[in-house]
């Protein structure tokens, strides 16, 4: 156990009925790294992210964030520790505009009380404008969402929805960003855009990225380390080169990939 890890998953197990989604998974994430989680369908990747950000409660094990045991904390409390999250099947707020979706990531930073908001006076208005400007100048500009900000998200094409999902998570100034297949269903160009957003996020915001992805060449190119899951077990963890060599991985994942 190094003092330096930003996130530590300790022997986390989770089961659904008879299915062991996660089996005593250990994982330590270093600050500022890009860590990929890979594995075949149903390996437990999404379940692991859900345990980390509190949407699932593990049957046993602990999660530490900056050396604080967050296992008992609800998801919204963990978000407040600056843990951002995007979803495999974009779970946007379909009835709201792009701008409101993104602003909702700032909930925890807005202190104005109810009556200020009701009468639209004082601090409530000032805060609202401050965050609007910040979001415009950082997230919206950065992810190139200027042209759609007033549109209801339900009308957007898939690739843009994925970007709004990312924007929303970025709006909460995450220290750790959990991304569940952010490139799924994208074409090559969109994937390249997304990859450059990644590197920018990593460089400019210094956020730690944990992401799930199926496309191995992208994973190998972009990640510092890779964690491989199979049937709920962690079967490998290391740099792309190390992981490529692991016999277990070749058998469980890469081999299957080559065969299929």
Partner 1 sequence: MKSIVTDLYSAYYAPYIKESYREDEAIFKSRFQRTWFALLVFALVALPPFMGGYHTFFMTQVLIAVIGAHGLNILLGYTGQISLGHAAFLGVGGYTYSYLAMVLHWPFWLAIPASGLTAAGLGLFIGIPSLRIKGIYLGVATIAFQFIADYTYFHWTTFSGGPQGRAVEAPAFFGYAMTSPLSFYYICLFMAVVLLWGAKNLMRSKYGRCLMAVRDNDISAEALGVPVFKYKILAFVISSFYAGVAGALLVIHLRNVYPAFFHLNVSIEYLAIIIVGGMGTVMGTIFGALFIVLVPEILSNLISSLAQWAHNPDITVLMAPMRLIIHGFLIILFILIEPAGLAGIWRRISSYWKIWPLPYI
Ligand X SMILES: Nc1ncnc2c1ncn2[C@@H]1O[C@H](COP(=O)(O)OP(=O)(O)OP(=O)(O)O)[C@@H](O)[C@H]1O
| Token pair belonging to 155 | 């009308």
Residue with tokens 């925890």: 108
User: Considering the complex, what minimum distance in angstroms separates the CB of residue 221 from partner 1?
Assistant: 28
Residues that bind partner 1 in the complex, under the rule CB under 8 A: 53-55, 74-76, 79-80, 85, 87, 91-96, 100, 103-108, 110, 112, 114, 117-120, 124-125, 128-129, 132-133, 136, 146-147, 149, 168-169, 172
Q: Which is nearer to ligand X, 44 or 58 (CB)?
A: 44
> Phi and psi dihedrals of 3, rounded to 5?
-70, -20
What kind and span of H or E run contains 240? Answer: helix 240-245
Helix ranges (H only) for 72-157 are: 75-80, 98-103, 114-119, 123-135, 141-142
User: Considering the complex, what minimum distance in angstroms separates the CB of residue 195 from ligand X?
Assistant: 20
84 binds ligand X per the rule CB under 6 A: no
- Rounded distance, CA 255 to CA 257, Å? 5
- Rounded distance, CA 175 to CA 198, Å? 14
Asked if 201 and 209 count as a contact pair (C-beta separation under 8 A), the reply is yes
Beta pairing partners, 180 = 212
Residue whose C-alpha is closest to residue 107's, from 94, 93, 119: 93
88 binds ligand X per the rule CB under 6 A: yes
Contact region with ligand X (CB under 6 A), list: 35-43, 100-108, 131-139, 198-206: 35-43
Contact region with ligand X (CB under 6 A), list: 45-53, 60-68, 151-159, 190-198: 45-53
Contact region with ligand X (CB under 6 A), list: 43-51, 58-66, 132-140, 249-257: 43-51
36 binds ligand X per the rule CB under 6 A: no
16 binds ligand X per the rule CB under 6 A: yes
Contact set with ligand X (CB under 6 A): 16, 19, 21, 39, 41-47, 88
């Amino acid at each position: 156990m190094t003092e330096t890890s930003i996130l530590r998953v300790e022997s986390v197990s989770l089961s659904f009925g008879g299915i062991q989604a996660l089996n005593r998974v250990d994982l330590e994430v270093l600050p500022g790294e890009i860590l990929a989680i890979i594995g075949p369908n149903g390996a437990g990747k999404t379940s692991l992210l859900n345990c980390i950000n509190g949407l699932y409660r593990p049957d046993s094990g602990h999660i530490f964030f900056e050396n604080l045991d967050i296992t008992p904390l609800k998801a919204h409390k963990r978000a407040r520790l600056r843990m951002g999250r995007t979803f495999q099947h974009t779970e946007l707020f379909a009835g709201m505009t792009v701008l409101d979706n993104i602003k909702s990531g700032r909930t925890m930073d807005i202190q104005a009380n109810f009556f200020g908001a009701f009468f639209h006076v004082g601090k409530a208005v000032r805060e609202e404008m401050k965050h609007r400007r910040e979001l415009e100048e950082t997230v919206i500009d950065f992810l190139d969402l200027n042209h759609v900000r007033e549109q209801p998200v339900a009308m957007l094409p898939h690739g843009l929805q994925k970007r709004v999902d990312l924007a929303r998570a970025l709006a909460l100034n995450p220290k750790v960003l959990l991304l569940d297949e952010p490139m799924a269903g994208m074409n090559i160009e969109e994937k390249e855009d997304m990859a450059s957003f990644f590197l920018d996020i990593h460089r400019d915001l210094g956020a730690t990225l944990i992401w799930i992805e199926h496309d191995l060449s992208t994973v190998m190119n972009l990640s510092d380390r890779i964690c491989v899951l199979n049937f709920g077990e962690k079967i490998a963890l290391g740099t792309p080169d190390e992981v490529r060599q692991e016999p277990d991985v070749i058998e469980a994942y890469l081999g299957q990939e080559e065969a299929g």
